Amino acid sequence: MSTKKPAAPKSALAGTDTLDRGNTNAKLESLEKFRSDATEQALRTNQGVKVSDNQNTLKVGDRGPSLLEDFIMREKITHFDHERIPERIVHARGTGAHGYFQSYENHSVLTKAGFLQDPAKQTPVFVRFSTVQGPRGSGDTVRDVRGFAVKFFTDEGNFDLVGNNMPVFFIQDAIKFPDFVHAVKPEPHNEIPTGGSAHDTFWDFVSLVPESAHMVMWAMSDRAIPKSLRSMQGFGVHTFRLINAEGKSRFVKFHWRPAAGTCSLVWDEAQKLAGKDTDYHRRDLWESIEMGDYPEWELGVQVVEEENEHTFDFDLLDPTKIIPEETVPITPLGKMVLNRNPDNFFAETEQVAFCPGHIVPGIDFSNDPLLQGRLFSYTDTQISRLGGPNFHEIPINRPVAPFHNGQRDALHRTTIDRGRASYEPNSIDGGWPKETPPAAQDGGFETHPERIDANKIRQRSESFGDHFSQARLFFHSMSKHEQEHIIAAYSFELGKVEREHIRAREVNEILANIDLELAKRVAQNLGLPAPKAGTVDVPKISLDRSPALSQANLLPGDIKTRKVAILAANGVDGAAIDAMKAALKAEGAHAKLLGPTSAPVTTADGKALPVDASMEGLPSIAFDAVFVPGGAASIKALSTDGVALHYLLEAYKHLKAIALHGEAKQLLDVLKLEVDAGLIVEKDAAKLTKPFFAAIGQHRVWDREPKAKAIPA
């Protein structure tokens, strides 16, 4: 009997050149009617209706609220919300922690929200930090926006402040959110790249949508590669309202300021961490809480009186704009402390459901068209992701306030409702549950009675038309090294773009309108002609620079929670190790002793010291600084150890503080390094600590960066 396998049936498309797109499409169309090519086709809804405006949600006037009757926006957002099951479409990669919020004082002048009125009360919170682009298995340290979502379990119901670590966004209207996310996600033909925006579809979209220019500038800055979740600012992004008991409404922007200061990784370090420790950020948060180094943030608001709404050179409703802190200072409200890790990642961090529409009396929305769309989208996506409308009954989402209404049944219902009436009004169950008039004590929620007198239109307000002045403000507010990092980021990202016309468009039509020198430098790095002028007249705004935007001005002023690696081999000076550990502990910092292997090292006086790990096991990218204690035999061993030498070179390249004690000075000659403000050499260990700690407190030795670039990665 023959064992020869029968030949596979020849495909009707066999032999087709993969680059012969026209012939391939023609054959596909004749064979498989379900395949679709949109070339030369009108944009239509899923029901075949031609779309006349895909840029603007239907609103009441150009600055009014969005309308629920907008079937085009709702179809588009609904489809988008259900594209990933069960993983989140965006913000899939996240980690969380429990804690509490405590108001500094009674803020009843601003709001009737109870959790902001009693300084003695601690309101439970759950916080989820996340990346935006990548799936659950992607790296923590990729260049990306970070989600910063806080669920307040208040006595009046849950309040979800769902924001990011950047105060603006890529688009102005929610109807464009599916377009933006489709562009930034991995390309559909090959699902590449994972966890990054260095590809054609992202840059094609943002180079065609000038309103994204400001946010892209933030994403190309160091803000997109934070050092840790503990060192990130957070922002509510949108303009909200706070309303007091008298009904007085004020516009506000929410801000989170970390007690640990705001700082970032350097690019080479972020890339290496993505490979060596994919979980770097979530591990740091977890370990900090376990060690008792509880992360802390201050919640504040920028307050704008209603009568001052139109006094700025931008529109308060535009989510691509900030209110500079120099124009409206931040009013501190209280502090948030994260002090408990979840017991189960899936049950808590993965199942937590945030919705911007979860607010309490005393907080209300503005007509920001991006926020208006989010109010619909988030609830819809949670229904899909968590299996139905009862996601509020999952323990991590369940409010501490009781909830009673006629909403029963559906998937995953856990509450067993007693009573026969699931409607209101009723007489069978005594009329319960009943409405609570807003004027009553602990009154029911009441929407701010904003007067609207306008036509139903799809239109963007002219006040949303300036797309470049705040991007320019951001770039000009950066320190010199931050500007260089932005230039390098644009050059790297656009260098991955295959189509030259997309690269050229971003340089000539976006960057040239922000800063001509920025555009020229990026063009030079890409091999493109340097633009000679911008393409639009950018209006002059009231501020040239905002120091509050630069991370160089946002350091904490101490070295609390910083991590220092101590490198040692047999024959090390044990007294120097003890002295450094004690000094670091006194400052609230942490030290780990690393040896050539995981075996204990022996001090010069014969004492065995257990090590925390090997130098390979905990590389320099896991630490903020490096200390090398003296000891002739130890230094002799380290000077011929390739791992140890690489450890120091890598720390030097990443601009970290390095302290060399006693005989460790010999390593300078081996490594051919020069002493600088962050490379301290001292015979006396006691004299090392002050300059060493000062260098750590500056986060990085930025003056070293030009020399460090010459060191191989």
Which residues does the annotation mark as catalytic? 91, 164
- Beta strand 563-567 with 590-595 is parallel
**Distances 597 to 341, 608, 637, 642, 643 between C-alpha atoms, Å:** 31, 14, 12, 13, 10
Q: Residue 104: how many CB atoms within 10 A of its CB?
A: 14
CA atoms within 13 A on the CB side of 626: 28
Q: Rounded CA gap, 422 and 96, in Å?
A: 36
Whether 372 contacts 66, CB under 8 Å: yes
Range list of H helices, 465-586: 469-477, 480-495, 500-505, 512-514, 516-526, 574-586
The answer to whether residues 116 and 334 touch, using CB atoms and an 8 Å cutoff, is yes
Contact 413, 390 (CB under 8 A): yes
Instruction: Decide: helix, strand or coil at residue 105.
Output: coil
Nearest of 466, 473, 240 to residue 368 by alpha carbon: 240
Rg (CA), the chain: 29
**Residue 281, SS3 per DSSP:** helix
For tokens 């300084």, what's the residue? 119
Alpha carbons 605 and 323: distance in angstroms, whole number: 61
DSSP-assigned letter for residue 192? B
- The token duo for 413 is 């219902």
CA quadruple 694, 696, 702, 708: dihedral sign? positive
CA distance 287 to 279: 12
Residue among 62, 79, 63 at smallest CA distance from 71: 79
For 480, counting Cβ atoms within 10 Å of its Cβ (0-12 exposed, 13-18 middle, 19+ buried), the class is exposed
Do 328 and 91 meet the contact criterion of CB atoms below 8 Å apart?
no
Question: Which run of H or E residues covers position 593?
Answer: strand 590-595
Angle between helical axes of 177-184 and 200-208 (0-180°, round to 10):
140
Q: Distance between CA 516 and CA 528 in Å, rounded?
A: 14
Rounded to 5°, the CA angle 547-549-552 comes to 70
Tokens 């959790």 -> residue: 115
* Bridge partners for 192 per DSSP: 187
> Tokens at residue 114, please?
């109870």
Residue matched to tokens 């997109």: 224
Q: Does residue 357 contact residue 392 with C-beta atoms inside 8 Å?
A: no
Q: What DSSP designation does 226 have?
A: B
Q: What is the spatial distance between Cα 52 and Cα 44, in angstroms, rounded to a whole number? A: 9
Do 380 and 77 meet the contact criterion of CB atoms below 8 Å apart? yes
The answer to whether residues 334 and 103 touch, using CB atoms and an 8 Å cutoff, is: yes
- Pairing label, strands 249-258, 296-305: antiparallel
Cα separation, 28 vs 23, in Å, equals: 9
Amino acid at 67: L
